C-alpha cells in the first residue's frame, strides 16, 4: 500500500479507503462481526489506514463493530464517520438533517459507539436542503474547538455548496472544510464536470465512493447474481441499462483479460487514476482480497484512453462540455511511499 497527502492536511492516507457500510446486519444484509473483523484486519495488514463509516450504516452496528476492532490500535487509522440520517430506523426529526442540534447529538452517539474520544474526519452525509452552510460550519467549528473532531468534510454536496461552505469557513476563520466525498466510477463520471475541478481549486482531500458502480463493473450481474441490485432497494446499484454501459463493461472485462486480473481491479485502478482516494465497500473477505488487487494493476495510457473513450459522457450535455481530462496522469501527485 502506498500513501498520499490528503488535500491541504498533513494526513498521509492509504491510496484505497475501506468503507464499512457492510459491517453489520442491521439492514438485513451485510457481514457479521466475525467476517467484518476479518475484512478489517486484512485491510490493515495490507497497510490500509483510512476507515470510513456512518451512524446510519447498519443502524449503528458498523460503528459499534469498529469501536471493538480499533481497541489498542486507534492511532493506526484515520477514522471518518458521517451524520445526517440518524442511527435508528425512523430516527427522531431532531437528530436527523444537518442542524447543529443533530450534529451534536450525532457526534456524541458516534463517539460512544466507536469507543473513541474524537473523530478524525466528520462528514455531513448529504445536504438536507434546509440547513444553511453558515450553521454547518459553525457547528463543525464548535466540535473542533471541543476536540471532538479534527477535520470537517462534506459528502454528496453539489459543487456550488461545497465552494460556498469552504469559502465561508476560510473567511470566518473557522475549522476549514478539508475534504469532500462523492460518487465516481466509469458509469458515473458527472463529477468530472464540477466537483473534481472545485476540489482541486480548493485543495481538498477527495474520497470517491462506489468505484464499481454498485458492483455492476465486476460483471457478476451478467451471471444472475443479485447482491446490491436488490440490497437497499437498489439505491446504490448502477444497472447495465444502456448500450454505453454495456460497452464500458465489455471494455473493462477485455482489459482485465489482457492484464490477467479481475474486472473489479481494473475499475478501481481507473478510479484511483483521478487523484482521489477510491473507497471500496466489500461484504466478504474474498471481495476485499480481490479489490485490493487493484494496487498491483498498472493501466497503460492506451488502456486509460480506451476506458475514457467508451465511458465518456454525452458531448451534448453541459457536464461533458465542462469536463476536463482527469485521467492524464497529472492528478496523481502527492503519493508517497
The three grid cell numbers given for residue 231, joined into one nine-digit string: 440490497
Query: Is there a contact between 208 and 191 (Cβ–Cβ < 8 Å)?
Result: yes
pLDDT of residue 314: 76
Q: Which residues make Cβ contacts (< 8 Å) with residue 286, sequence separation at least 6?
A: none
The arithmetic mean of pLDDT across residues 201-229, rounded, is 86
CA–CA distances in Å: residue 120 to residues 50, 200, 308, 320? 10, 21, 34, 35
**What's the pLDDT score for residue 320?**
52
Q: What was the pLDDT predicted at 224?
A: 65
Catalytic positions are: 57
What pLDDT shows up at residue 93? 94
CATH of span 3-336 = 3.20.20.100
pLDDT interval class at 239 (50, 70, 90): confident
Comparing 48-57, 114-123, 227-236, 327-336, which segment has the lowest mean pLDDT?
A: 327-336
Residue-wise pLDDT tens digits, 166-184: 999 999 999 999 999 999 9
Q: Grid coordinates in use for 295?
A: 494496487
Q: Which residues of 147-164 are buried (b: 16+ CB within 10 A; e: fewer)?
A: ebbbbbbbbbbebeebbb
Q: How far apart are CA 93 and CA 336, in angstroms?
A: 44
Tens of pLDDT, residues 29-53: 999 999 999 999 999 999 999 999 9
The DSSP secondary structure of 106-119, one letter per residue, reads: HHHHHHHHHT-S-E
Amino acid at each position: 500500500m502506498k500513501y498520499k497527502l490528503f488535500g491541504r492536511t498533513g494526513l498521509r492516507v492509504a491510496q484505497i479507503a475501506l468503507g464499512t457500510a457492510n459491517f453489520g446486519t442491521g439492514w438485513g444484509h451485510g457481514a457479521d462481526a466475525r467476517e467484518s473483523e476479518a475484512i478489517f484486519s486484512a485491510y490493515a495488514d495490507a497497510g490500509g489506514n483510512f476507515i470510513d463509516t456512518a451512524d446510519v450504516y447498519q443502524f449503528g452496528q458498523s460503528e459499534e463493530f469498529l469501536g471493538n476492532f480499533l481497541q489498542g490500535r486507534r492511532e493506526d487509522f484515520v477514522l471518518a464517520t458521517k451524520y445526517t440520517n440518524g442511527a435508528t430506523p425512523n430516527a427522531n426529526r431532531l437528530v436527523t438533517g444537518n442542524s447543529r442540534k443533530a450534529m451534536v447529538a450525532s457526534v456524541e452517539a458516534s463517539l460512544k459507539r466507536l469507543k473513541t474520544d474524537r473523530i478524525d474526519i466528520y462528514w455531513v452525509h448529504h445536504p438536507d436542503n434546509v440547513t444553511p452552510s453558515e450553521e454547518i460550519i459553525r457547528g463543525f467549528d464548535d466540535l473542533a474547538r471541543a476536540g471532538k473532531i479534527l477535520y470537517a468534510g462534506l459528502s454528496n454536496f453539489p459543487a456550488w455548496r461545497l465552494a460556498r461552505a469552504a469559502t465561508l469557513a476560510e473567511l470566518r476563520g473557522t475549522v476549514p472544510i478539508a475534504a469532500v466525498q462523492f460518487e465516481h466510477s466509469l458509469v458515473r463520471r458527472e463529477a468530472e464536470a464540477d466537483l473534481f475541478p472545485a476540489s482541486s481549486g480548493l485543495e481538498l482531500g477527495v474520497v470517491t465512493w462506489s468505484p464499481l458502480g454498485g458492483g455492476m463493473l465486476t460483471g457478476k450481474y451478467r451471471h444472475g447474481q443479485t447482491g446490491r441490485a436488490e440490497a437497499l432497494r437498489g439505491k446504490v446499484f448502477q444497472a447495465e441499462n444502456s448500450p454505453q454501459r454495456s460497452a464500458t463493461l465489455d471494455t473493462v472485462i477485455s482489459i482485465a483479460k489482457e492484464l490477467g486480473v479481475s474486472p473489479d481491479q481494473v475499475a478501481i485502478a481507473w478510479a484511483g487514476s483521478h487523484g482521489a482516494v477510491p473507497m471500496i465497500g466489500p461484504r466478504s473477505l474474498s471481495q476485499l482480497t480481490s479489490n485490493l488487487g487493484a494496487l498491483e494493476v498498472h493501466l497503460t495510457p492506451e488502456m486509460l484512453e480506451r476506458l475514457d473513450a467508451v465511458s465518456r459522457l454525452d458531448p451534448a450535455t453541459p457536464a461533458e462540455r465542462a469536463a476536463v481530462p482527469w485521467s492524464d496522469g497529472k492528478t496523481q501527485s502527492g503519493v508517497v511511499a
